[in-house]
Chain A
């Protein structure tokens, strides 16, 4: 019977990419991440491009007004969900610090719960697991990577990947490329170099390590460049793209003259060797904590009339960057909100920091604030409209630093004055903002998902989940979910039903059309 379903599928749809995951339950062949099936969300960003764009079209601008709750899952935890769930073979895997849940994606009922409290490391967030074959990979606040059996959450091995006693901690969702599990680290309270590590998915052994900055103690040199958001990958170029965090000491740049490479940068590495191919400094000599870890989004398309392999980032420092991702050369640099810390942009597309806007004993007024014009939340690229849609945070703050603040760790103080949240649709060819949609005072922590049918899913500062028209930014549907979203929405289709998953506080929500309004039930029935 299963064989017949396959033959039918292959013959009728030619969806070869479905083959690997459909054969065995709770199993993800790494090649399946290259072309994710509609019934999967196999990695943090959903695919290697970081576009967070779903090809599903059952939910449309016309019918989204009928969207309703399919199920909700209560974690009963104080910690907010910041993870993007993985979906593999009908099961969602998601996390908060020290916890993983495996939940039936159809019903929201729990299959297992891994709960192992750790006493050390910052418990600021956990962004999700990665999967390789039948194994999950999970980072705990104390700098350990654990491999678990996806069937029951039992532990296979645990290895230390970061030394919590030095000041590192780990929060990010690893990225699987073939037989590499790529992990990044957090830790800017201490003067430590950031790094990426590639771990063998079977043994837990380190395959390579790439350091963002020279080892601590190197004279006249920076530390920092943490790697705490999952990167992206181009299989044709075999390049891994990653954003790096701020330099340390954070607000005092005196001990680290120059551009402080490769902090606040986008880097391209060979995922098999960890060797740097190119790097692009997004904030040369940062003194405002503006990590450039935001997802490097990979887009193939025209730029000013010529086809390009592009990389786009809306960065925390307030600038939107378009690079040629084959060589790291700039195509466009443009602010996407109020920024007052740069003297302009140099000929290679790097903002030029204004020395007068470095933190000072009597304070400097700075836009954006330290949380940045955007941050950890994911943007989305919509190919039809060419819009790069980001949850922005226009904001102002004052920055201080004086000799008594020293040159270790934070080394200064900053205070946010005012900010608000705005969903912005950026035209990637010009950097111009096509539309904006206010999402409330203070700002929203919600990421963005776009779909082929022309919908943009996100959330506001009050806890409303929003569906907007991608062309205009107008609200088409909303639901009050009780707490703001601190994750990025995902979407998948199971049994012919499209689901959109959002989180609010410690609750995961699955939204879908009422069953009587679904049209394509029969078409997809054979997929499972």
Chain B
């Protein structure tokens, strides 16, 4: 909304506030729509967790709010929201504008908190998901979900392809992926379903154009020379010091392919790091590294029990063979990588 400003600039603050009050709460139809969306968002944020996404409640503990405006007037609703009641928390800091929008929303017939993000149901779910995706996910995963800054191509993701109605995508979205710096998001079940519907629609779209498909195909990663790769594996790369084509890498190309194989080859994530701790008493405890910052070291022992100590109070050694992959980064040529990739693909 652009309030024309030439006429306003000479007026005093009090008048400005009066004008602002006149413009904002009681404006046009478009303004009413905005208020409705604000109310729906306020409901989704504060109320839906107990009273349900569609105000259906969850008896016996949480009453439905479907006809709440027949039981309480606006003032009673406002007081209840501000002060709480029984197990219902108080929201004393809710700004007046948000409170008014919420009460108006509770009067409305639109039962969907998800309406804040677009239409519900049927073919429109993916559209609602698109808007949520653009706001929250597109920066990393790209606007078409086919990859962008940092985030992987979701139209090729095995997890996303296996997802049904958000069952797998939802788990990742709600928990995040701390190891890959993906944050967690608190979306409602409806929101998760709509995001999943959008991703599935994008997968379908991408699969319809196999020839000109963007992103990394298995066929793109076939430029290396397997014999040179084998020589690098056994020689300059030093790979054979830790790995064996008949041992840990036997059949590796049957388990992984394409970009996934190349990423694992260059730096395998989630490998286990061993730590040996010597306590002040001389007692030794070993296990898998579970946490380490400057101040605390934590491990899981063979029973799965977690132990931690201040780093200043114990002596410890960390055995992290995966660090050899980091040391190689500055030594590889691109040809070395493509050759190694070709060699690993022979290990079926």
A residues in contact (CB < 8 Å) with B: 78, 80, 110, 112-117, 119-124, 134, 141, 149, 152, 154-160, 189, 202-205, 289, 338, 340, 356, 360-365, 367, 370-371, 396, 398, 400, 402, 404-406, 409-410, 413, 415-418, 438, 440, 442, 460, 462, 464, 475, 478
Contacts and interface: CB of A to CB of B under 8 A. Distances in A.
Interface stretch (B57-65, B68-76, B130-138, B238-246): B130-138
Nearest to B326: A418
5 A-B pairs with the lowest CB-CB distances in the bound complex, closest first: A362-B223, A203-B5, A462-B293, A396-B329, A417-B267
Given A189-B143, A363-B216, A160 B134 contact: no
A404 B135 contact: no
Contacts of B283: none
Nearest to B147: A413
Nearest to B219: A361
Contact of B338 (A362, A367, A410): A362
A442 B3 contact: no
Contacts, number: 155
Contacts of A289: 149
Given A119-B131, A119-B135, A110 B3 contact: no
Contacts of B16: 149, 154, 156
B135 A157 contact: no
A154 B8 contact: no
A460 B292 CA distance: 12
Interface stretch (B164-172, B178-186, B188-196, B249-257): B178-186
A155 B5 CA distance: 12
25 contacts: A120-B134, A149-B17, A156-B3, A156-B8, A156-B16, A158-B2, A159-B2, A160-B2, A189-B138, A189-B142, A203-B9, A205-B5, A361-B220, A365-B332, A367-B330, A370-B149, A371-B150, A404-B211, A404-B214, A413-B153, A417-B263, A418-B267, A418-B329, A464-B294, A478-B295
A237 B177 CA distance: 48
Contact of A365 (B138, B185, B337): B337
Contacts of B179: 442
Contact of A410 (B95, B142, B259): B142
Contact of A398 (B8, B149, B262): B262
Given A122-B138, A363-B334, A442-B181, 12 more contacts: A113-B93, A116-B38, A119-B117, A123-B136, A124-B139, A152-B17, A155-B20, A158-B2, A361-B220, A400-B215, A404-B213, A415-B263
Interface string B91-120: 001010110000000000000000011000
A446 B222 CA distance: 40
Contacts of A160: 2
Contacts of B116: 117
A157 B3 CA distance: 6
Contact of B293 (A370, A417, A464): A464
Given A149-B13, A155-B20, A464-B295, A406 B220 contact: no
Contacts of A418: 267, 325-326, 329
Interface centre among B93, B142, B215, B334 (most CB of A within 10 A): B334
Contacts of B338: 362-363
Nearest to A123: B135
Nearest to B187: A78
B37 interface: yes
B329 A365 contact: yes
B41 A117 contact: yes
Contact of A415 (B213, B221, B259, B293): B259
Contact of A475 (B98, B148, B215, B294): B294
Nearest to B6: A203
Contacts of B334: 356, 360, 362-365
Contacts of A203: 5-6, 9
Nearest to A411: B214
B216 A400 contact: yes
Contact of A363 (B184, B212, B221, B267): B221
A78 B186 contact: yes
A440 B293 contact: yes
Contacts of A361: 220
A66 B217 CA distance: 56
A370 B295 contact: no
Contacts of A363: 216, 220-221, 262, 334, 337-338
A171 to B, nearest CB: 10
B329 A338 contact: yes
Contacts of A189: 138, 142-143, 148
B329 A115 contact: no
Contacts of B306: none
B329 A367 contact: yes
